[in-house]
Structures are given as C-alpha cells and as structure tokens.
Amino acid sequence: MTLTALKPQLETGLAELDLSLTDAQVNRLIEYLTLLEKWNKVYNLTAIRDPKEMLIKHLLDSLAVVPYITGQRIIDVGTGGGLPGIPLAICFPDKTVDLLDSNSKKTRFLIQAKAELGLVNTQVIHDRVENYQPKLGYDAVISRAFASMQDMLHWTDHLLSENGVWWAMKGQQEFEDLTTLPGLVVIEETIQLKVPGLDAKRMLIKVLKQKQ
C-alpha cells in the first residue's frame, strides 16, 4: 500500500472531521503511517497489519480528538506506537506533545519516527509512568491505552499541573462505571466521537481535578 493510495482516504477523513491541515501535515501523517507499518513487521507495535485498517483504527481514531484537546503542554501516556501522540504533535506544531512508554522496543520506534518526521515539539520518554517526574506539570494527560479510568487517574495524577485536564479515549464497548471514580476528580464532559470509516462508537472523556 503506497502513500499515494492512502492519501485521498485520509483527506476525505480529515474533511469529515472538519480538520484543516496543510499538505505538508497530511504528507507527514502518511509518512508516519508508513513507518508504523514498516516497523510493525519487526517490532509488533500493533495487532493491526492492514495499512487501510491502520488508517481508520489508529490514525483517524487519533485525529478525531484533535478539535477538543486544549493546553500547551500535553503528554500521551502509554503511547505505544505513538497514538494519539504523534498525530497530535503533527497537528499541533506549536504545542509540546510528549510521548511516554515503558516498552523499549516501542520507544526505539518513537525515537526513529520523531527523527524521520522532524518532530521538534516532542520528546520520547522511556520510563514507567509512576517513575517519571517532570520538572513542570502538563496541561493535559491523554491516553487511549489504559485499561481503566481508575488506573489512569491514579498513575498519572502527579503529571498534571494544578489546572490540568485528563483526556481518556474510550471505546463504547469498554465503558465502565464512572461513578466509582475517586471523589477528588470530576467528569467535566463526555464527548461522542465519530471516526470516519469506523462502524463502532468512540468517546473522549474530559476529567478535571476537584477544586478543594
């Protein structure tokens, strides 16, 4: 599957998401997808092998959150192969979008992708989330990999600045009982996402720290 073959489908998806990107950004997204497919053969970054499926289930799935994400400093926790962090970094060249993962194979790929894509607004952090102590808190913590909201909030609380926001990407089928979340947090918003080409529901949950 070549870059040329996938580009029209990506552009159609971007139009459906009402995202206006430059041609250079679109090409960079395709280049990232090409790298992901190439490295996946050796590194097992994702169970999805088909590039067209990768486009929908990884790239467009990640891009669907772009209109909602706020803050200048963002960290993608448990980023794996760079999702949604690398698409966010491409879409937001003026924001810092850091990528954290404890898997050394995945961070090796991320370092290579960062270099090849020329992403100067991101750093790759190879560490366990509970061990990483940033000098400055993040405005936003995002993840699409955590099994539960409870775990995400528990393990990433120290990464957020005082007025920071958690963004949890979830599939409808894995929806959990959010009434069990700790009392120190409040669900600000639950956004229903429509991912172009995907016949499954997705949501983005915005969580804030409860004001004391």
Q: In the chain, what are the domains?
A: 3-209 (3.40.50.150)
pLDDT for 133 beyond 70: yes
| Mean pLDDT, residues 5-15 taken together | 96
Residues 6+ apart with CB under 8 A from 151: none
124 or 42, which is more confident: 124
pLDDT class of 173 with cuts at 50, 70, 90: low
What pTM, to 2 d.p., does this model score?
Answer: 0.95
- Rounded Cα distance between 95 and 199, Å, is 31
- Rounded Cα distance between 192 and 201, Å, is 8
The tally of CA atoms less than 13 A away on the side-chain side of residue 167 is: 25
Percent of the chain with pLDDT over 70: 93
Q: Any idea what DSSP says for residue 170? A: E
pLDDT tens by residue, 134-157: 999 999 999 997 878 889 999 999
Residue 175 has what pLDDT? 60
- 8 Å CB contact between 35 and 116: yes
pLDDT class of 52 with cuts at 50, 70, 90: very high
Residue 209 has what pLDDT? 86
The tally of CA atoms less than 13 A away on the side-chain side of residue 171 is: 11
pLDDT tens by residue, 62-118: 999 999 999 999 999 999 999 999 999 999 999 999 999 999 999 999 999 999 999
pLDDT class of 210 with cuts at 50, 70, 90: confident
- 8 Å CB contact between 17 and 60: yes
Q: Any idea what DSSP says for residue 42? A: H
Residue 145, CA distances (Å) to 31, 59, 109, 140, 174 in order: 23, 15, 17, 16, 12
pLDDT for 44 beyond 90: no
The tally of CA atoms less than 13 A away on the side-chain side of residue 55 is: 22
